[in-house]
Amino acid sequence: MIYLNKKNIFYDLPENSLALKLFIEIEQAIIALIKKPGLEKSILSKIISFLHSKDYDPESKLQFAKQKLTLHLDNCATNNSDKILVRSLLGQISRILQENKELKEKIDNMKELVHVCELTKLYNYRFLQEMILDEISRAARSTDYISIIMLDIDNFKSINDNWGHLCGDAVLRDVAKTIKKSIFRKYDKAFRYGGEEFTVLLPKTNLEQAVIIAERIRTAINNYSFHYKKFNFNKEVTISGGIAICCDYQEKCLENIAEKLILEADTNLLQAKKLGKNRIYHQYFF
């Protein structure tokens, strides 16, 4: 999209911006074509009206102008000089659309980086706070289940203490990679909650389904070969987990529901630790 601020007739285009200058140049060129005798005026007038409309964003306006100028190139220009002018306009429109597409991709990539933990490449805690509210809201509208799994690497402190933090980082990376590979649905998301804790957010997932996914993750990590020659580390790494699900949305505050979900999953995680680790625990519905 081209970013706007509603300061002029071209609906939000910032003063002195290249986009505004391009719109003005397009308008002036089309007006010049309209004044020429023997040309099809209706399509040119439609482009002018569309450029001034407040019902469409600037990118849509440029796409419209490009489409109409392309389709009616022969009708709008009866001599070579007019055709050259139209083709020049089409070139400028294509260029600004391409530049805007590249800019949007860069912005999207930057947003992605903000939401991702640099070490594990999983989504981070900040993004979890956004996504859990979005998913609870969606689940409440459709009265559907939502589940979360809280996971914690067993005895992780001893890895850092005995083999060093770089070895601990390698374990975190491989655990994260294994968690990510163990969730298959596109709407399930894995997060690094903090330290050696991870969260998996599972929309449209009841308790039975959540247990299957959690056990898949636990088994995959239990079977993974954590072997780092440079750290002289070749040990079994296990993970414990707690599950919480929600299917009751009488509580209207989304933040309260999210807090209860995380607290319940964390409580069940602690219980899994007490029962001997390397296990998944669940107990309550709410």
SS3 150: strand
Catalytic annotation, pick one of 196, 208, 255, 259? 196
The residues near 225 (Cβ < 8 Å, ≥ 6 apart) are none
Cα–Cα dist 156/197, whole Å: 10
Q: E strands of the chain, at which residues?
A: 146-153, 189-194, 197-203, 227-228, 233-234, 239-246, 280-281
Question: Is-catalytic flag, 251?
Answer: no
Nearest to 90 by CA among 61, 64, 70, 60: 70
The arrangement of strands across the sheet holding 146-153 comes to 189-194, 197-203, 146-153, 239-246, 280-281
Catalytic residues: 196
